[in-house]
Structure 1
Amino acid sequence: MTQLEGAAMRRTSFEPMGCPVAGTLELVGEWWSLLIMRDALDGFSRFDEFERNLGIAPTMLTRRLRTLVDAGLLDRRQYSAAPPRYEYVATAKGRDLGPVIVALYAWGRKHVDAGEPSVVMIDQDTDEEILPVMVDRNSGRPLADLNTAFLAGAGADEDMRERLDPGLRAARRQRSRIT
């Protein structure tokens, strides 16, 4: 590996940011990870299935699967002893990523897919197409209809509290309207 290739492969860790979005990206922010999880949640579990579905190089697939197992999103289970072969099954933590993938699907259907969709989501009990939206659990209202903001939580450090301070946010919003 050349020095340039090594530099291109390194990336900044998002872990110190202390934000749930950044923490999620630390685990699944590499695009192959989300596509592997999409397939795992759709019932694919074997190395050759992931490789065929995604057109991913075996070395990259091996690295991504190891990372997803280490992160607790997939379980690695042996299904053949000779030769040793493994399947990868979503854990409860991995299944909890499902709504995130569905949200990406819904956004892509709205903003990326031109013309007739190549993939649709259905209710397997009725075979009817589902058009997913995220809703607030308390009110049932779609998040897109709400005026939402992030606030610093109890575990936030001083930098996070300052960044998410409602008064400073209002001043930034006002400043952006003027310019």
Structure 2
Amino acid sequence: MRHSSFAAMECPAARTLDQVGEWWSLLIIRDALHGLTRFDEFQQSMGISTNSLSRRLKELCDNGLLERHPYQDNPTRYEYRLTRRGRDLQPVVEALAVWGRKYMTRGKGAVRLVDTETGDLADPVLVDRNTGKEVNEANVHYVATKVASEVKKGKLPPP
């Protein structure tokens, strides 16, 4: 049986997937991070149908990830700009791209992240803000909190 919503789950990953888990949604966020703002730009970039794109843009606006701003009257046309909440998905989108370049495209890709000052290619990694250490299986591990499911409490150490 498929879930219609993960909103009742205590898991932050599940709740995030409720907001952006549909693949077109993350690709729209990706394109918005790349500077696209208009309906036709998103459609041209992804080849998505107009109905699907309209639905996804509405959901992303309803979820506070994009804001709609008119740029033309008669007929009224809108551009879609990332909110702070939407821009905060950049590390998530880039982490997916890093994984994809490593395992799926052998380092290729149409758009790359570069250092603003040097112009050098960036090599992003997830780093613990408190220690500065890279987040990887050697440096961190998961622990079960009070709200963890019983099956996870049995597999993970307590905090």
Report the TM-score, using the length of structure 2 for normalisation: 0.89
RMSD, matched Cα: 1.8
Q: Which residue of 1 aligns with 2:61?
A: 69
Q: Rg larger in 1 or in 2? A: 1
| Long gaps (5+) in structure 2 | none
Q: Which residue of 2 aligns with 1:118?
A: 109
- Asked if 1:146 is matched to 2:146, the reply is no
CA-to-partner distance for each residue in 1:33-56, whole Å, 9 max, x for gaps? Answer: 000000111111000000000100
* Alignment-mate amino acid for residue 108 of structure 2: P
Q: Which residue of 2 aligns with 1:52?
A: 44
Q: 1:86 aligns with which of 52, 57, 78?
A: 78
Q: 2:25 aligns with which of 22, 28, 33?
A: 33
Instruction: Write the distance in 2 (CA, Å) between the matches of 1:78 and 1:53.
Output: 21
CA-to-partner distance for each residue in 1:59-109, whole Å, 9 max, x for gaps? Answer: 000000000000000000011111100000000110111111111111111
Q: Which residue of 2 aligns with 1:132?
A: 124
Following TM superposition, by how much is the alpha carbon of 1:149 offset from its aligned partner in structure 2, in angstroms?
Answer: 0.6
| Long gaps (5+) in structure 1 | 1-9, 172-179
Larger fraction in helix: 1
Secondary structure in 2 matching 1:64: helix
How many residues are matched?
154
Aligned identity (percent) is 45
Report the TM-score, using the length of structure 1 for normalisation: 0.79
Instruction: Write the distance in 2 (CA, Å) between the matches of 1:140 and 1:44.
Output: 33
Secondary structure in 1 matching 2:78: strand
Given the superposition, is the C-alpha separation of residues 37 and 31 from structure 1 closer, same or farther in structure 2, using an over 3 Å criterion?
same
Contact map agreement 1:152 1:164 (CA 8 A) in 2? no
Q: 1:169 aligns with which of 143, 149, 155?
A: 155
Following TM superposition, by how much is the alpha carbon of 1:58 offset from its aligned partner in structure 2, in angstroms?
Answer: 0.5
